């Protein structure tokens, strides 16, 4: 569907060179230099590039609000897209686990999620991109994984390792094991033995990872690591052709990523909270050190916009600089050269904020409306309806 053709006037617009009170025109889904003749007065608003979210799993609550409650998973994806749009997100990477933990993180469930995303991708405005979060010690799944990823059309994979190796090495049961096992539908003793078996094959993982990352990179899959703790971990991932560091947990790991030219993604909730909920490195400190290329929503979609606003108020940077971490920065990390700024020729991916409250008033993807509230809707509808009436005459 072709996007709206409009001249947005009167707003403060975040252009590549900074904020300016200037007309912004869109036609055929893109930003254009020339006027198109259908003016919408956006005095009192800010117009900014749409948010590009490179890692978010808050969609889970829409797909499985209660265990077994959601049978038509496509309806959950559509509901999640509505939340994304209401928070100004125009490109969203949906992060789904593929884990020994089972339940909503099982391989079978991942397949259902990716099938649902694929079914609705062409029906929604927000650009939905699936991501697979793969547990490194699932060695028996390595052989089939490249084919599964191709079938699911997943362009982005990150590697996790959630095994509590210290406790398993000591033969101790991890905390909350019983609850985790029951959620996965497993006997707790068998669940514990499975974890011990996975841990026991740790020496096989590096060699298997080298072959897997080679195959995935050759297939064009973008690769990242999750929760790096040390410089050695990040260096090892880079040697395997894994150039994206998601949520490094220490300054040491983030500094190693920057020294090696790797992309660094931090969590927006960490910024909003003023620190990590797990006691890891403060995103604010890492940003101040220049150790961040992009912010991601992680587990809370509203935090992406709020983090940029908080950074601008903190004095670390102005709003234009902060917004780069949620728009052009993540677009560059992911190689999305067609979005992230409001330059002619780029996609008309736009978020409009109320100037006073900075609440989201409207969101547009490729010139199509994905979210709009009552106040600004009147201005758009008057112009669109007026244009339609003129054409009818």
- Distance from C-alpha of 58 to C-alpha of 51, rounded to nearest angstrom: 16
pLDDT at 348 (0 to 100): 98
Which tokens belong to 360? 């989201």
Cα four-point dihedral sign 227, 231, 234, 236: negative
pTM: 0.94
Tell me if 119 sits within 8 A of 74, measured CB to CB: yes
pLDDT at 393 (0 to 100): 36
Return the H-helix or E-strand segment holding 215: helix 205-218
Q: Where in the chain is the domain with CATH 3.20.20.140?
A: 50-339
Which tokens belong to 209? 């990872």
Within 8 A by CB and 6+ apart from 278, the residues are 249
pLDDT in tens, 261-307: 999 999 999 999 986 767 788 999 999 999 999 999 999 999 999 99
- Could you identify the residue written with the tokens 């547990």? 135
Q: Where in the chain is the domain with CATH 2.30.40.10?
A: 1-49+340-393
143 burial (CB, 10 Å; 0-12 / 13-18 / 19+) is exposed
pLDDT at 17 over 90: yes
Question: To the nearest whole percent, how much of the chain has pLDDT over 90?
Answer: 87
140 or 393: which leads in pLDDT:
140
Q: Domain spanning 1-49+340-393: which CATH class is it, in words?
A: mainly beta
pLDDT in tens, 202-219: 999 999 999 999 999 999
Out of 1.10.1270.20, 1.25.40.10, 3.20.20.140, 3.40.50.10490, select the CATH number for domain 50-339: 3.20.20.140
What distance lies between CA 133 and its chain's CA centroid? 13
pLDDT at 384 (0 to 100): 56
DSSP assignments along 318-370, one per residue: -HHHHHHTTTHHHHHHTT-TT-SS--TTSB--EEEEETTT--EEEEEETTEEE
pLDDT in tens, 117-161: 999 999 999 999 999 999 999 999 999 999 999 999 999 999 999
Tell me if 346 sits within 8 A of 31, measured CB to CB: yes
């Amino acid at each position: 569907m072709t996007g709206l053709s409009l001249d947005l006037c009167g707003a403060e617009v975040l252009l590549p060179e900074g904020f300016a009170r200037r007309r912004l025109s869109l036609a055929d889904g893109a930003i254009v230099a020339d006027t198109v003749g259908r003016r919408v007065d956006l005095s009192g608003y800010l117009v900014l590039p749409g948010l590009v979210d490179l890692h978010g799993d808050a969609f889970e609550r829409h797909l499985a609000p209660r265990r077994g409650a959601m049978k038509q998973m496509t309806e959950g994806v559509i509901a999640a897209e509505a939340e994304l749009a209401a928070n100004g997100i125009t490109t969203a990477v949906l992060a789904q686990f593929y884990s020994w933990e089972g339940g909503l993180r099982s391989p079978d469930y991942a397949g259902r999620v990716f099938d649902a995303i694929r079914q609705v991708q062409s029906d929604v405005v927000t650009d939905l991109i699936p991501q697979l979060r793969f547990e490194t010690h699932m060695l028996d799944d390595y052989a089939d994984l490249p084919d599964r990823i191709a079938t699911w059309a997943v362009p982005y994979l990150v590697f996790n390792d959630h095994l509590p190796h210290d406790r398993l090495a000591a033969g101790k049961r991890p905390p909350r094991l019983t609850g985790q096992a029951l959620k996965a539908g497993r006997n707790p003793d068998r669940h514990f033995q499975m974890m011990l078996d996975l841990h026991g094959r740790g020496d096989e993982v590096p060699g298997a990872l080298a072959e897997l990352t080679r195959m995935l990179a050759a297939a064009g899959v973008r690769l990242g690591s999750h929760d790096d703790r040390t410089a050695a971990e990040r260096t090892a991932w880079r040697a395997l052709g894994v150039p994206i560091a998601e949520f490094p947990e220490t300054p040491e790991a983030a500094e190693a990523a920057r020294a090696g030219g790797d992309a660094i993604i931090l969590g927006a909730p960490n910024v909003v909270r003023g620190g990590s909920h797990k006691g890891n490195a403060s995103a604010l400190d890492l940003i101040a050190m220049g150790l961040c290329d992009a912010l991601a929503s992680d587990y809370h979609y509203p935090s992406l916009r709020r983090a940029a606003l908080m950074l601008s108020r903190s004095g670390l940077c102005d709003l234009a600089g902060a917004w780069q971490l949620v728009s052009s920065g993540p677009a560059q990390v992911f190689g999305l050269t067609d979005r992230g700024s409001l330059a002619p020729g780029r996609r008309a991916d736009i978020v409009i904020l109320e100037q006073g409250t900075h609440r989201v008033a409207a969101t547009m993807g490729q010139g199509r409306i994905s979210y709009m509230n009552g106040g600004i809707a009147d201005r758009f509808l008057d112009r669109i309806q007026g244009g339609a009436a003129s054409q009818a005459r």
